[in-house]
A and B are shown apart, each in its own frame.
Chain A
Amino acid sequence: MPMAAIEIERLIKASIPDAEVTIRDLAGDGDHYAARVVSGSFEGMSRIKQHQAVYAALGGRVGGELHALQLETAVPNTETTSD
């Protein structure tokens, strides 16, 4: 069952209130998204921990009802300019 982008954003923000969330529907099928999540709460966390925090916010949906979520996380204002 595909998930709406707005629902993904709502779940992330419910768990990480200061998160700035940008979501793109990669394939236009409501099943393959890319999300960029920027939050001050990521400060001092490894990339793995940052991604795990987002996966936790989505409560086990990633890898299940949400097939693919390409994920990028960052702390505000300390981003690298790799892209």
Chain B
Amino acid sequence: MTDATSRIDELVKSNDVVLFMKGTVLFPQCGFSSRAVAILDRLNAKYETVDVLQDPEIRQGIKEYSEWPTIPQLYVKGEFVGGSDIMMEMFESGELQQLVGAEA
């Protein structure tokens, strides 16, 4: 396990809901990350974020860890959920609310 992989592993396992994104909750640096944050906020979810722009190792590492080429990426209870398109689909169907266990 590389250093980046073990750090990512630690992040996804120590946080119930964690979003790897570009920028921060207050200042998302990409429309897709912004959309992901908006969805989680709408669900009143408690979540942590990791700004991949501050950490090139995590930025590259998370793509390999998830076998997923783009950011944002959502993990819930250690499981990869998907990017912002899947989040939106699951938000609309109500699945995401169930998954993050938040009240709307």
**What is A's interface to B at a CB cutoff of 8 Å?**
47-48, 51-52, 55, 60, 62-64, 68-72, 80, 82-83
Contact = CB atoms under 8 A, between A and B. Distances in A.
A62 B83 CA distance: 13
A51 B30 CA distance: 20
Contacts, number: 38
Contacts of A80: 93
Kindly state the interface size class of chain B when it binds its partner. Answer: 10 to 19
A52 B89 contact: no
A55 B86 contact: no
Contacts of B80: 48
Given A60-B69, A63-B70, A71 B85 contact: yes
Give the interface centre of B32, B69, B82 by most chain A CB atoms within 10 Å.
Answer: B69
27 contacts: A47-B82, A47-B86, A47-B89, A48-B68, A48-B80, A48-B81, A48-B86, A51-B68, A51-B82, A51-B85, A52-B67, A52-B68, A55-B68, A62-B69, A62-B70, A63-B63, A63-B69, A63-B71, A68-B31, A68-B32, A70-B85, A71-B85, A72-B85, A80-B93, A82-B89, A82-B92, A83-B92
